[in-house]
Amino acid sequence: MAGESDIRTGIYVGGRWLAGHSGRSFESFNPADRDEALGTLASGDAADVEAAVQASKAAYPAWAATPVPRRADHILRVGLGLERRKEELARLMTREMGKTLRETRADIQEAIDFAFYMAGEGRRFFGQTMPSELPGKFSMTLRAPIGVVGAITPWNFPIAIPMWKLAPALLAGNTVVFKPPTDTALCAVELVAEFIETGLPDGVLNLVTGSGAEAGEALVNHPDVRAISFTGSLDVGRHIATQCAQAMKRVSLELGGKNCLIVMPDADMELAVEAAAWGAFATAGQRCTATSRILVHEKVKAAFTERLLARVARMKAGDGLDPDVEIAPVINEAQCVTVLDYIEIGKAEGARLLTGGTRLTEGGLEKGSFIAPTVFDAVSPTMRIAQEEIFGPVTALIDFADLDEAIAIANGTNYGLSASIYTRDITATFEAISRLEFGVVYVNAPTIGAEVQLPFGGTKCTGNGHREAGPQALDEFTEWKAVSVDFSGRLQRAQMDEE
């Protein structure tokens, strides 16, 4: 391990910023202007992960023995620190991730809200008491930490999603090695700096920037890491699940989505159009909850489509620091190519391109990774663009004849994260709530917009059953311990008849 550094290098281990084992580095760029390099960070490898895990392991006993309300105090103060720096960090995030300033402020606010919420759980770290079947015996349950946790996060919510993992993991008494994406590593550095400012003991939280192939793989496979929390793509999630299964390691996965917004004939049309445009094209469609399918009743399909196209035509693309911009760049050139490839797939499958479908390179956008907001029509539910997560500013219009057909189409993918229905009909509302196979269901609200007090996660290939946010977030990072105290003064045998 190379020596200690005087600057925030991206590798923070055992209370020190380090230059990294390999000496290699990478740069963070502005996706709205690829000529703008924002900073250089160390490219961590397996040796850096080893050092981080050992620091976490050494810090674990004392941290696990720290009273939960005291652990919660650190989380609270991180929220206060983010609150003080909200505008500064939002501007950094817009430059590093690309989404609009309005959205990055919301990203920071979500992290603040969750820090405050989870700090409150420090005095609500409840177990349960329950009666024993035997006299003179007391039974209860307690939450216990797991050990060293690896947190691997995506680039689309560079501070909110890490906070969803770090806050409950640390509150529960675990120590953490945090591996952020290289695309938004500067935001991760600033978040860790806020934890450091609270006086968090050395080794409790460690940071290793670097690639998933090196740092991420080493973290997943380290024998001393007892749990992995990962948010990202389905393919990578499957790989991580396989690796963790071999080691009998706790793993929590929040993966992709193929989310839908259902527009019934009695819907408030203007509201539904606004929700569809916002859900499909906010963050350039780079949300796991993005509205990538819009299911519209055949009676209102023509009117809805006309209004949607008019709304999309008014969306301005550009640098997210411009307050008038609604269409941000996609994160990097590789993602740009992926999205454009999917657009070509849609056309080849026979879908009709109504608007967009091209890269934007004029009006000052030539140095960024911009794609015009894209709407397809005449989409069959079985087409790849209606089945696979694109993670870009692309949505598909699909018509239906009745609610039963809409629900069948909505449920007809491998994913089950977020669904929305716009209707004034109480029967349709509760039929949708009951029958939609999604972890998050909205009525007369967009598919995007999670709130911190509600559990977040999905069904089927969206994840493996865990939930982030809400009180359920603690389940991801704790073990349940059943405790019984026999004060009868004699040996009692459960389930056996008394002689």
- Residue in the structure block whose two tokens are 């680039």: 155
Confidence of residue 495 (pLDDT cuts 50, 70, 90): confident
Per-residue pLDDT for 103 more than 60? yes
CA 455, CA 231: separation in Å to the nearest integer? 15
Q: What CATH superfamily classification does 259-443 receive?
A: Aldehyde Dehydrogenase; Chain A, domain 2 (3.40.309.10)
Confidence of residue 499 (pLDDT cuts 50, 70, 90): low
Confidence of residue 2 (pLDDT cuts 50, 70, 90): very low
Quick check: do 11-255+463-482 and 259-443 share a fold?
A: no
More confident residue, 498 or 83: 83
Note the helical H segments in 37-159.
46-65, 68-84, 86-97, 101-120
Per-residue pLDDT for 110 more than 70? yes
The DSSP-derived string for 282-333 is: GGGG-STT-EEEEEEETTTHHHHHHHHHHHHHTPPBS-TTSTT--BPPPSSH
Q: What percent of the chain has pLDDT over 90?
A: 96
- The structure's pTM equals 0.95
Q: What is the mean pLDDT of residues 438-455?
A: 97
Second CATH level (architecture) for the domain 11-255+463-482: 3-Layer(aba) Sandwich (3.40)
* Strand partners of residue 291: 259
What pLDDT does residue 5 have?
47
φ, ψ (nearest 5 deg) of residue 318: 160, -165
Please write the tens of the pLDDT for every residue from 218-261. 999 999 999 999 999 999 999 999 999 999 999 999 999 999 99
Per-residue pLDDT for 337 more than 70? yes
- Cβ(328)–Cβ(100) under 8 Å? yes
What pLDDT does residue 454 have?
97
What is the SS3 string spanning 409-467? Answer: HHHCCCEECEEEEECCCHHHHHHHHHHCCCCEEEECCCCCCCCCCCCECCEECCECCCC
- Cβ(220)–Cβ(240) under 8 Å? yes
Note the helical H segments in 199-300.
217-221, 234-246, 269-281
**105 SS3 class:** helix
Per-residue pLDDT for 3 more than 90? no
CA 7, CA 20: separation in Å to the nearest integer? 12
Please write the tens of the pLDDT for every residue from 361-420. 998 999 999 999 999 999 999 999 999 999 999 999 999 999 999 999 999 999 999 999
The residues near 103 (Cβ < 8 Å, ≥ 6 apart) are 282, 283, 320, 328
- Catalytic positions, written as ranges: 254, 288
Per-residue pLDDT for 72 more than 80? yes
How high does pLDDT run on average in the chain?
96
Please write the tens of the pLDDT for every residue from 121-174. 999 999 999 999 999 999 999 999 999 999 999 999 999 999 999 999 999 999
Per-residue pLDDT for 4 more than 80? no
Sorted by where each begins, the domain ranges of the chain are: 11-255+463-482, 259-443
Q: What percent of the chain has pLDDT over 70?
A: 98
Confidence of residue 494 (pLDDT cuts 50, 70, 90): confident
367 C-beta neighbours (distance < 10 Å), count: 15
Q: What is the mean pLDDT of residues 74-101?
A: 98
Instruction: Please name which of 254, 247, 291, 251 lies closest in space to residue 273, comparing C-alpha atoms.
Output: 291
Confidence of residue 471 (pLDDT cuts 50, 70, 90): very high
CA 291, CA 275: separation in Å to the nearest integer? 9
What pLDDT does residue 1 have?
38
Please write the tens of the pLDDT for every residue from 5-28. 457 889 999 999 999 999 999 999
**DSSP 8-class letter at 200:** P
CA distances, 434 to each of 306, 421, 444 (Å): 31, 12, 16
CA 264, CA 401: separation in Å to the nearest integer? 10
Q: What is the mean pLDDT of residues 60-66?
A: 98
